[in-house]
């Protein structure tokens, strides 16, 4: 009786105690001028996609706690009370006394227990789910950082493009006014004024396109920062510089396969699918339910006993579940192959784009770019003094402005290509990209 009481106390009161602590992280100020580090942190804090993946990871950490429970369910306690009344023949010494009366009652406690290593397998499944979700969270973090850095570089590049185009537009307006003055003086045909006006309109259209691209890039960043569309945005970033990396695709593919979180995630998905298949196969092994009871039976007869119950696996053989889990495992293998193929394709595109733009940027000599601005100013002075024809001045202006705008666009595309290369390879943005203010 004492042994049973001790076992009953252990079943009812036994359990695992968990404690959870949350660390409050300080978020940097997201107002005022923002550098690259601050804006990426602010975007991550405001990103519902990243926050959702964090909550999923928290959910799976709860599943790990569930899998660590000692028993598959809580103990079940049941009781009954019955009134027993005998016959007159059962009463008295000669069977003539009053009918005996007794109150019967029973207290029964049962507890289901794991069999066949189901608890250990559930813990393995929960651990693999945690690894998969951690990899997915890191992939979302990197993609969010990539989009943010690319958005910042687009905003900075489009801002330079808008400012440069505005200067060229103002110069075109001055050339038109000079052409108009020369036509009034009779030293130039009236058609030159129309040609100058056409060039002014061309640059005005380019200016408006640059303005729309600038506003679009600004709006995307404000949405990522969870700000109002009409809010101001000040950035202290003009570009990025990339650390030296190998130029051959084979080496970069090896680096990517070792660093991309998607690769580790797909590998963990394969392991997770295998663990779930093993877990389902273990369902064929039924859990045993142990029970103990104390009873007042018959006419005040004291009874202490134990029981064992075992479900029979007859109609439900888990064949369908096993076949489904085996298919999921095969899908995980194919998904890993597809992911690796996509990564190789991303690397090929990123490397080819980066190398092409790197070669293009080498064609722009810094002294040549400084000479472009000087030539545009000299062009205006030559037209004012009559040393050049209006048509020749406009043709020269179109060539010089095209070269300057091409450099601005190529510089922006080159910065974006560097970000895409680091993302495709799976390297750290913080380590391999240096901010240029």
Look up residue 390 and give its two tokens: 């209006």
CB count in 10 Å sphere of residue 428: 11
pLDDT for the residue 414: 92
348 and 419 assigned to the same domain:
yes
Residue 324 lies in a domain: yes
Residue 19 lies in a domain: no
Spans of the chain below 70 pLDDT: 1-29, 87-97, 187, 299, 437
101 and 68 assigned to the same domain:
no
Among 317, 335, 367, the domain boundary falls at 317
Which DSSP letter does residue 92 get?
S
Domain that holds residue 309: 74-113+288-317
Which residue's entry shows tokens 């808008």?
Answer: 162
Helix (H) / strand (E) element for 183: namely helix 118-185
Look up residue 336 and give its two tokens: 């890993």
Strands (DSSP E) along 22-151, which ranges?
76-85, 101-113
345 and 219 assigned to the same domain:
yes
Which DSSP letter does residue 225 get?
T
Whether 57 and 137 have beta carbons less than 8 Å apart is answered as yes
348 and 270 assigned to the same domain:
yes
Query: What are the residues whose beta carbons fall under 8 Å from the beta carbon of 343, sequence distance 6 or more?
Result: 253, 256, 257, 260, 262, 263, 424
pLDDT for the residue 301: 81
Whether 27 and 38 have beta carbons less than 8 Å apart is answered as no
pLDDT for the residue 246: 85
309 and 384 assigned to the same domain:
no
pLDDT for the residue 18: 27
53 and 166 assigned to the same domain:
yes
pLDDT for the residue 312: 85
Which DSSP letter does residue 293 get?
E
Burial classification of residue 181, based on how many CB atoms lie within 10 Å of its CB (0-12 exposed, 13-18 middle, 19 or more buried): middle
Rg (CA), the chain: 39
Whether 34 and 435 have beta carbons less than 8 Å apart is answered as no
- Give which of 224, 214, 183, 216 is closest to 391, Cα–Cα: 183
Residue 9 lies in a domain: no
What is residue 184's three-state secondary structure? helix
pLDDT tens per residue, range 146-157:
999 999 999 999
pLDDT for the residue 7: 39
Half-sphere exposure of 274 (CA within 13 A, CB side): 8
In angstroms, the CA 182 to CA 390 distance is 9
pLDDT tens per residue, range 27-37:
456 878 888 88
Quote the crossing angle between the two packed helices 319-362 and 261-282, to the nearest 10°: 180
Whether 143 and 136 have beta carbons less than 8 Å apart is answered as no
Among 317, 333, 366, the domain boundary falls at 317
Which residue's entry shows tokens 């053989």?
Answer: 317
55 and 81 assigned to the same domain:
no
Residue 6 lies in a domain: no
Kindly report the CATH number assigned to the domain that includes residue 397.
1.20.1600.10
In angstroms, the CA 14 to CA 4 distance is 15
206 and 169 assigned to the same domain:
yes
What is residue 297's three-state secondary structure? strand
What is residue 384's three-state secondary structure? helix
Whether 158 and 409 have beta carbons less than 8 Å apart is answered as no
229 and 279 assigned to the same domain:
yes
Residue 376 lies in a domain: yes
- Maximum Cα–Cα distance for the chain, whole Å? 152
Write phi, then psi, for 427 (nearest 5 degrees): -85, 170
Look up residue 259 and give its two tokens: 């660093």
In angstroms, the CA 55 to CA 58 distance is 5
Which residue's entry shows tokens 């380590």?
Answer: 431
Residue 377 lies in a domain: yes
82 and 192 assigned to the same domain:
no
pLDDT for the residue 43: 93
88 and 159 assigned to the same domain:
no
Residue 425 lies in a domain: yes
Query: What are the residues whose beta carbons fall under 8 Å from the beta carbon of 335, sequence distance 6 or more?
Result: 266, 269
Give this prediction's pTM: 0.80
307 and 428 assigned to the same domain:
no
pLDDT for the residue 153: 92
pLDDT for the residue 14: 39
pLDDT for the residue 387: 81
pLDDT for the residue 90: 61
Look up residue 53 and give its two tokens: 């993946």
Q: How many domains does the chain have?
A: 2
Helix (H) / strand (E) element for 242: namely strand 239-242
Burial classification of residue 321, based on how many CB atoms lie within 10 Å of its CB (0-12 exposed, 13-18 middle, 19 or more buried): middle
- Give which of 419, 426, 424 is closest to 40, Cα–Cα: 419
In angstroms, the CA 72 to CA 288 distance is 11
Residue 347 lies in a domain: yes
β-pairing, 433-436 vs 301-309, is: unpaired
């Amino acid at each position: 009786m004492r042994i049973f009481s001790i076992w009953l106390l252990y079943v009812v009161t036994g359990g695992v105690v968990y404690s959870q602590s949350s660390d409050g992280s300080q978020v940097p100020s997201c107002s005022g001028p923002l550098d690259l580090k601050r804006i990426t942190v602010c975007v991550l804090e405001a990103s519902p996609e990243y926050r959702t993946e964090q909550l999923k990871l928290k959910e799976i950490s709860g599943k790990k706690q569930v899998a660590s429970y000692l028993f598959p369910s809580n103990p079940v306690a049941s009781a009954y009370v019955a009134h027993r009344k005998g016959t007159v023949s059962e009463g008295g010494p000669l069977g003539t006394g009053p009918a005996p009366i007794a109150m019967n009652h029973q207290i029964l406690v049962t507890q289901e227990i794991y069999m066949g290593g189901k608890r250990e397998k559930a813990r393995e499944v929960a651990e693999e789910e945690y690894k998969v979700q951690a990899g997915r969270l890191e992939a979302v973090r990197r993609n969010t950082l990539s989009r943010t850095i690319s958005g910042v570089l687009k905003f900075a590049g489009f801002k330079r493009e808008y400012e440069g185009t505005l200067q060229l537009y103002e110069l075109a307006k001055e050339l038109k006014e000079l052409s108009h003055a020369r036509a009034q003086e009779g030293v130039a045909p009236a058609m030159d004024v129309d040609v100058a006006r056409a060039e002014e309109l061309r640059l005005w259209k380019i200016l408006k396109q640059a303005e729309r691209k600038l506003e679009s890039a600004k709006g995307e960043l404000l949405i990522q920062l969870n700000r109002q569309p009409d809010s101001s945005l000040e950035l202290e970033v003009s570009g990025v510089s990339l650390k030296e990396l190998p130029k051959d695709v084979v080496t970069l593919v090896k680096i990517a396969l070792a660093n991309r979180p998607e690769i580790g995630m797909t590998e963990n998905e394969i392991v997770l699918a295998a663990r779930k298949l093993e877990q389902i196969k273990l369902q064929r092994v039924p859990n045993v339910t142990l029970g103990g009871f104390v009873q007042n039976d018959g006419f005040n007869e004291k009874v202490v006993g134990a029981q064992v119950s075992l479900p029979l696996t007859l109609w439900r053989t888990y064949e369908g579940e096993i076949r489904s889990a085996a298919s999921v495992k095969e899908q995980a293998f194919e998904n890993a192959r597809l992911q690796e193929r996509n990564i190789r394709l991303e690397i090929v595109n990123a490397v080819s784009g980066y190398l092409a733009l790197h070669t293009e940027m080498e064609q722009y000599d810094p002294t040549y770019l400084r000479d472009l601005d000087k030539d545009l100013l000299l062009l205006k002075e030559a037209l004012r003094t009559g040393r050049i024809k209006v048509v020749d001045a406009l043709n020269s202006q179109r060539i010089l402005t095209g070269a300057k705008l091409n450099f601005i666009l190529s510089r922006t595309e080159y910065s974006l290509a560097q970000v895409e290369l680091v993302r495709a390879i799976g390297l750290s943005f913080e380590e391999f990209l240096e901010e240029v203010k």
